[in-house]
Amino acid sequence: MPPLLQIIKKKKSQWMESFHFRLARPDALLQLALLGLISGLITGAVIVVFRLLVEETQDYLLPGDGPENYEALSVGLRLLFPIVSGLLLALLFYKASNGLRVLGVARVMERMAYHQGYLTVRGFILQFVGAAIAIIGGHSVGREGPHIYLGAASGSLFGQSLNLPNNSIRTLVASGSAAAIAASFNTPLAGVIFALEVIMMEYTLVSFIPIMLAAVTATGLSNFILGSEPAFSIPDFNFSSFAELPLIILLGLLVGAGATFYNHLIEVISVKTKHIEIWWKVIAAGVFVALIGLVYPEVFGIGYDTVNTALLGGYTVTVLFGLFFAKLLATSLCVGLGVPGGMIGPAFFIGAALGGMVGYLASYFFGYDASDIGFYAILGMGAMVGASLQAPLAALTAIMELTYNPGIIMPGMLTIVIAQLTASEVFNKQSLFISMMRNNGLDYDINPVLQVLRGIGVASVLDNKFSRRSALTDAATAKKLITTDANVNWILLNNGDGELKTLLPITELAKYIQTQQSEKVGDEALETTDIENLEELEINLFEIPANRLQLSPISLQANLQQAHEKFVQGAEALYVVFNEEEADKNSRVYGIITKSMVEDSYKL
C-alpha cells in the first residue's frame, strides 16, 4: 500500500475510534444529531420505495383508479387475491424465515429490550417482501407497522455497519422508527412522540434531537418524491357546544371497550395457534379474509379509502356497524395468525367506523349534517390507536397533524384519555405490542436504572490506566509500576498461554512491596531505606497475597446495561476489547470496567 494511503487509513481509523468513544458518552448530542439526520434519509428512501412498489402494483392489478379499489373486484378475484397472497407468504416464510416468526413493532421492542436494538438483514427483507405481498394481496393489515420495522432496521443496520456503540444504535433504531411514521403519514411530530413513547419509553434531550432530525428529513424526502398530500381527507369541523361532551365521553368509553376487544381477540388467536407452523397460519388467514371480503370488500388492504369516506360521512350507520366488526375480525385474524403487517392502519379504520356511528347519534340530537360526522370519526381514530397501543400522546399528536386544527386538542384529549383508562384500568389491558411480546414469553423492562445504563457506552467510563504483565516480575519493575509517574491503576495478568484471566489492582501490589520492604529492613528504617534494595526480589503476581479479580471480556460497542448483566451473572471485572466473541490473547485491550464504575455512572 502506498505511504500516503497508509497515512490516510491510519488517520481514518484514529478518527473513527475517537468518534466511537465520543458516542459512548450519554451527552454526545452533536454526533447523534448527524447520525439521526443520515438515518432519516435512509429510512425515508426505504419507505418511499416500499410505498411506490405497493401502490403502483395495486394500481396496476386493481380495476378503476387508485391503489385500494378492492371493492371493484369480482367475487372470484375477491377470493383469489388474499388466498394467493397467503400462499406466497407461506412460501416466503417456509423458504426464508429461518425461525423468524414475529415482525413489526413488537419485534423492534423485543430487540430493544433483549438485544440492544440489533436487527438483521434477513428480518428487513422478510418484512419488506412479506408486508408488500400481504397488503397487495388484500390482507387486512396496515403499512405503518412494517414501515416502523423497516425504519428501525435501517437505523440499526446503519449503526452496525459502522460498529457504533450500542447506546447509539438504540437511538438510531428510534430515529428510524420516527422517520418511518413521519414519511408514512406526513406527521413528523407524531413519529417523534411514537418513537419516544413506545420504542424507547423515555424522553431525554440526547435522544429527542436526533429523532426529530430523522423525522423531519424523512418527511422532506417523502414529500419531495410522493407529494405532501395528507393520508386522509379531513373535513372542516368545529367543536361548537359543550352539550356534546356527554357524547364525546360516550365515544371514549365505547372506543376503550372496542380496543379491549380488538387486543383480546388478537391475543386469543395468537395464543391458541402458537403451536401451528407460520406457513399454515398465513394460508388460513388468506382464506378467512377472502370469506369476510366477499361480504365486506372494504376490509381488504389498509382501507384508507374507506376511512376517507367515513370521515366525509359517506356511510350509513348500518354500514359503519358492519364495517366495524368486519374489519376488527379480519385484522385480528391476520395479525393473530402472523401475517407480517401492521395494526395502526386497521385501528384507524375501526376507530373511524365507531366514531362515525357516534357522529350519527350526535347529528340525531343536534341536527348536524353528514360532514360533521367526520369530527367524531377522527376522534374515534385517535382514541382507538391510543387505547389499543397505550400511546395516548402519539395518538393525540397524530390527529392534530392530520387535521391542522387546534380545536381538536381538547375533545381529542378527553376521548383518548377516557378510552385509554377504560382499556387499561377497567379491562386491565396493556399495549398490544407488549401483550404480543408476553405471549411469546418475553417482557419489556422499563426499569429506570436500566434505561440510564442503556444510554451510556462502556467506552465512556472505562479505565485505560493499566499494564499488561506476565506472572513473574522483579522488584525494580514493580517499583516503576507503583509510582505515580507510571499512571497505572490495574495490572492485567496473562496466564501461561498468554490469555487474560486475572486483574490485580495496583494498590494490592504496592501493599505487598511495602510489606516485603518492612520485613527486609525493619519498620524503623522504612523511611530511609530505598526500595531499590529489593531489586533482586522476584515476584509472582499470581501468588502474592492480594485481592485479585477474575476477568471477563466485553465488547467496545457494549453499553453499561450489558456490563451490569455480566456482573449480575458473576463477573468480577471486565476488560474491554473490540469484539468479545473473538477475544484472544492478541486482542487489543481498551480498558477496564469494574462494578463500582457502573454504579457510579448511574449515580451521576
Complete DSSP assignment for 181-248: HHHHHT-HHHHHHHIIIIII----HHHHHHHHHHHHHHHHHHHHHH-S--SS-PPP-----GGGHHHH
One domain, residues 487 and 598 = yes
Q: Within a domain: residue 42?
A: yes
- CATH code for the domain of 365: 1.10.3080.10
Q: Within a domain: residue 232?
A: no
Instruction: Report the C-alpha gap between 539 and 216 in whole angstroms.
Output: 63
One domain, residues 465 and 378 = no
Q: Within a domain: residue 18?
A: no
Q: Within a domain: residue 148?
A: yes
Q: At what angle do helices 409-421 and 392-403 cross, to 10 degrees?
A: 150
Instruction: Report the C-alpha gap between 488 and 219 in whole angstroms.
Output: 51
Burial track 220-257 (b if 16+ CB lie within 10 A, e otherwise)? bbbeeeeeeeebbebbebebeeeebeebbeebbbbbbb
Q: Within a domain: residue 4?
A: no
466 SS3 class: strand
Instruction: Report the C-alpha gap between 326 and 549 in whole angstroms.
Output: 63
Q: Choose the final residue of a domain: 413, 448, 483.
A: 448
Q: At what angle do helices 278-295 and 75-96 cross, to 10 degrees?
A: 170
Closest CA to 399 of 422, 387, 416: 416
Residues 6+ apart with CB under 8 A from 178: 151, 188, 191, 192, 194, 195, 211, 212, 214, 215, 218
One domain, residues 398 and 530 = no
Give the CA-trace dihedral at 423, 425, 427, 430, to 10 degrees. Answer: 60
Q: Within a domain: residue 16?
A: no
Instruction: Report the C-alpha gap between 487 and 451 in whole angstroms.
Output: 33
Instruction: Report the C-alpha gap between 71 and 294 in whole angstroms.
Output: 10
Q: At what angle do helices 304-311 and 317-336 cross, to 10 degrees?
A: 150
Q: Choose the final residue of a domain: 396, 415, 448.
A: 448
One domain, residues 483 and 338 = no
One domain, residues 336 and 382 = yes
Residues 493 and 500: beta-carbon distance below 8 Å: yes
Task: Give the predicted TM-score (pTM) of the model.
Answer: 0.86
Q: Within a domain: residue 329?
A: yes
Complete DSSP assignment for 399-425: HHHHHT-GGGHHHHHHHHHHHHHIIII
Instruction: Report the C-alpha gap between 30 and 210 in whole angstroms.
Output: 9
Closest CA to 258 of 347, 363, 169: 347
One domain, residues 53 and 85 = yes
Instruction: Report the C-alpha gap between 158 and 174 in whole angstroms.
Output: 13
One domain, residues 596 and 468 = yes
Instruction: Report the C-alpha gap between 417 and 579 in whole angstroms.
Output: 47
Query: How do 538-540 and 472-474 pair as beta strands?
Result: antiparallel
Measured between its terminal Cα atoms, the distance across the chain in Å is 46
Q: Identify the pLDDT of residue 416.
A: 94
Q: What is the number of domains present in the chain?
A: 3
One domain, residues 197 and 248 = no
Q: Identify the pLDDT of residue 185.
A: 81
- CATH code for the domain of 551: 3.10.580.10
| Angle made by CA atoms 125, 126, 132, in degrees to the nearest 5 | 90
Closest CA to 507 of 498, 515, 518, 495: 515
567 SS3 class: helix
Q: Identify the pLDDT of residue 531.
A: 47
What are the cell numbers at 438? 408476553
| Angle made by CA atoms 145, 149, 155, in degrees to the nearest 5 | 145
Q: Identify the pLDDT of residue 525.
A: 46
One domain, residues 214 and 262 = no
One domain, residues 175 and 207 = yes
Written as one letter, the residue type at 482 is I
Q: Identify the pLDDT of residue 519.
A: 61
Burial track 13-45 (b if 16+ CB lie within 10 A, e otherwise)? eeeeeebbbbbbbbebeebbbebbebbbbbbbb
Instruction: Report the C-alpha gap between 511 and 493 in whole angstroms.
Output: 18
Q: Which domain holds residue 197?
A: 25-226
One domain, residues 558 and 581 = yes
Residues in the chain: 604
Which residue positions in the chain have pLDDT lower than 50? Answer: 523, 525-529, 531, 604
**Phi, psi at 500, each rounded to 5°:** -85, 120
Closest CA to 247 of 425, 373, 395: 373
Q: Within a domain: residue 234?
A: no
One domain, residues 395 and 436 = yes
Residues 109 and 437: beta-carbon distance below 8 Å: yes
Instruction: Report the C-alpha gap between 355 and 351 in whole angstroms.
Output: 6
Q: Choose the final residue of a domain: 171, 197, 226.
A: 226
Q: Identify the pLDDT of residue 506.
A: 85
